[in-house]
Chain A
């Protein structure tokens, strides 16, 4: 290969990776993003295994919120719509799992039931709500986030209402004991996240994902070209609900006790905020978002009075927001690419 060709190749690659960085998607950076997902997951699990049970528990909850952030990102990154209802899907997933475990179902079937039921409810709710846009979508999802905990109280005979629902203990998966701060729960939760995250990434980089982005960013053109935009949107919301339903199931297994006040509408807003700050198209960013939400406020309590943690956490989030569109994930990816180019450039010079 001549020197000129290799320069042209490098420039072409650079324009592809630049586009991939800017858009938060694209095949050029797919390999790097898969590696980053694995690094983030392995880091969270390793830290959790080597630390106190308190931090291990927080990191296990981090996997739950990471799935919720992923669910949020599917809607925000795919369709550009604001979903504040992820807390509602977490609640549905958690209660379905809890009730299934109570009925004596095996853990695997209980998780599957959570995913399926949440997806079905997500599908049904999406059919009317995808007709809304922008602020109205946000409002509709907020109402949902507010209504689901109320419904749980109302359905007291099944859910235990505001008294809550204690789940059977001693759950295992493939011999691993689950629940609370057990290492098994930590490992299992992050395995679940990794599977959901990589499948979502594969979908996002497929024809399906491209079509979703087309609908999200240029709906009228997609419709005129013959895309069934309503069904594309319904599919995205359904996938989002299913992912959050999985998160809900892990919430139930980790916490072992469910009550409606664990899923306030403010949780839906917090999940949206951290998902956007971490980067709504980034799968490894979802791990960052989950850990941010689950770990930082609880760990801050060791250093400052608990009444001030909200303020400090708020300041941290505000500073993170200054990194702009694409969130922290894009910023970190940019640094990695810059370092990579510096090393490669040095070698070629």
Chain B
């Protein structure tokens, strides 16, 4: 088994071009066991592209993606999933004729090991129990976002990539999201990477931060340090950081 703080998934000097547009250039990122890493940056900075490169939806133009030190650049998205890469989508992608429970259960059937969280436990941890037997069209948007995380978690991922889990959520749903992820973090040492815009939420959940701007890494390191970096503040955060407020716990 990998030790604490082992690098589970890494991007090494990743370049990604779409035609003439350079979406990522020389991006380095390391996702460690037991660590929640925030990935922040303005719209169009390459965050979702990076997630798609890491999960194998896109193949990078150059550079490498490593899983536990092994180059998996040529491994398909499906095989990466089976090796332990779990993800969610910016817009929930769910089967509308399967109940919330079934949407999670179909993924649980693909799990690689039996010590992954069970479907019923995941429903509780991610606050979906109340809606377990309902169909997605009848369920609040925030619950669907949490359901997506539960669906990824029941596969027993070793790396969990969350693409804007808080986008479109209201204040209460955001708090539920933070609490759910903290409950999960308390019992699991999965490497987590989450794309987020809300600095307060990032502060509450992420101990490490990577800032992307125009496809380049602008800053990285412990969350508090990165958020104090003048370049990061100037480029992205402005001075309104202090105004964000999510009443949630300490960084995990």
Contact = CB atoms under 8 A, between A and B. Distances in A.
Contacts of A220: 93
B242 to A, nearest CB: 38
Contacts of B134: 15, 18-19
B87 to A, nearest CB: 6
Contacts, number: 73
B77 A19 contact: no
A217 interface: yes
Contacts of A221: 89, 93-94
B106 A210 contact: yes
B81 A225 contact: yes
B93 A228 contact: no
A217 B155 contact: no
Determine the interface band of chain A, counting residues with CB < 8 A from chain B.
Answer: 20 to 34
B135 A224 contact: no
B95 A16 contact: no
Contacts of B135: 19, 22-23
A209 to B, nearest CB: 10
B98 A224 contact: no
B190 interface: no
A321 interface: no
A278 B105 CA distance: 30
A210 B155 contact: no
A218 B109 CA distance: 16
A8 to B, nearest CB: 12
Interface string B71-90: 00000011101100001010
A125 interface: no
Given A24-B97, A217-B96, A218-B94, A224 B55 contact: yes
16 contacts: A19-B133, A19-B134, A19-B135, A22-B97, A23-B99, A25-B97, A26-B99, A207-B106, A214-B103, A214-B106, A218-B93, A223-B78, A224-B55, A225-B81, A225-B107, A227-B110
Interface of A: 12, 15-16, 18-19, 22-26, 207, 210-211, 213-214, 216-218, 220-228
Given A19-B99, A23-B96, A217-B96, 10 more contacts: A19-B134, A19-B135, A22-B138, A24-B97, A211-B106, A213-B97, A214-B106, A217-B98, A221-B93, A224-B57
7 smallest beta-carbon distances between A and B, as pairs: A23-B97, A221-B93, A217-B95, A226-B81, A226-B82, A214-B106, A16-B133
Interface of B: 55, 57, 77-79, 81-82, 87, 89, 93-99, 102-103, 105-107, 109-110, 133-135, 138, 151, 155
